[in-house]
């Protein structure tokens, strides 16, 4: 029960890494706000967790919807201890010049601006409570960029730098800020990352990971659980590689 009596908001929690985090956090005693643009998916995950979770339909690119999401957490559970900025978006692997402006804008809105929106909403709450944890899902793409995902890579590099800067500025308020850098995993975005999903491409990708497999939602959830728990009370500003050795 490492998160007993803690309240966590997890965005992008209707599937993939976010679903893994929401369920793992609940297992460890947290009350969880399952937030996602996919309302039905969020409701499914919250129902599977049980009474300690609520579902909130939220577009994290919208400041007003992020504020409504945080209000729902406060209104239902009374506080916000952990903010997980996990929702993400990418363009399909390919020529950087072929990415249209609307897609570029959506990548920056979901992967970058959403972190700003959530900070505006939760930092004052956490400061009044005496502290808190913010965890951003970045990517190995922000540490070791590869061709074909240029604008996505750049957004994740931004998330890593923002994490470190937030950590320094918010440390006096006892708010820890870290980020996860997962390698691609068995999620709905895998086909976009690879360009297409074929057994040959999967084998090629796995071969680039020393531990020989893709990441799983549980891998990411366990890393997030530690960073969000009091066991990591002296850890802030870290970009934790959860990548089977990919970045070595």
Sheet with strand 31-36: strands edge to edge: 53-57, 31-36, 7-11, 82-85, 132-137, 175-182, 239-242
Partners of 36 in beta bridges: 57
71 as an active site residue: the answer is no
The CA angle 144-149-153, to the nearest 5 degrees, is 45
CA 83 to chain centre: 9
CA 155 to chain centre: 13
What is the Cα–Cα distance from 83 to 135, expressed in whole angstroms?
6
- Secondary structure of 77-129 in the HEC alphabet? HCCCCEEEECCCCCCCCCCHHHCCHHHHHHHHHHHHHHHHHHHHHHHHHHHHH
Q: Residue 54 in 3-state DSSP?
A: strand
DSSP string, 139-163: -GGGTS--TT-HHHHHHHHHHHHHH
Contact 190, 197 (CB under 8 A): yes
Contact 225, 2 (CB under 8 A): yes
Residues assigned a catalytic role? 152
């Amino acid at each position: 029960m490492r998160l007993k009596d803690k309240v966590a908001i997890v965005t992008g929690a209707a599937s993939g890494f976010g679903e893994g985090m929401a369920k793992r956090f609940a297992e460890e005693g947290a009350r969880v706000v399952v937030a996602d643009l996919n309302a039905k998916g969020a409701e499914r995950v919250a129902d599977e967790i049980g009474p300690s979770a609520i579902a909130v339909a939220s577009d994290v690119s919208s400041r007003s919807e992020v504020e409504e999401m945080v209000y729902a957490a406060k209104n239902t559970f009374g506080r916000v201890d952990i903010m997980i900025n996990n929702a993400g978006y990418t363009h399909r692997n390919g020529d950087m010049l072929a990415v249209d402006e609307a897609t570029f804008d959506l990548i920056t809105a979901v992967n970058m601006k959403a972190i700003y929106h959530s900070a505006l909403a939760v930092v004052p709450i956490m400061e009044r409570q005496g502290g808190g944890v913010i965890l951003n899902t970045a990517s190995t793409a922000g540490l070791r960029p590869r061709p074909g995902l240029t604008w996505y890579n750049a957004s994740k590099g931004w998330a890593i730098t923002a994490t470190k800067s937030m950590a320094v500025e918010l440390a006096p308020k006892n708010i820890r800020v870290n980020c996860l850098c997962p390698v691609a995993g068995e999620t709905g975005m895998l086909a976009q990352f690879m360009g297409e999903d074929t057994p040959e491409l999967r084998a090629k990708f796995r071969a680039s990971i020393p531990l020989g497999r893709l990441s799983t939602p549980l891998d990411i959830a366990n890393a997030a659980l530690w960073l969000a728990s009091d066991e990591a009370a002296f850890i802030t500003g870290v970009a934790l590689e959860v990548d089977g050795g990919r970045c070595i």
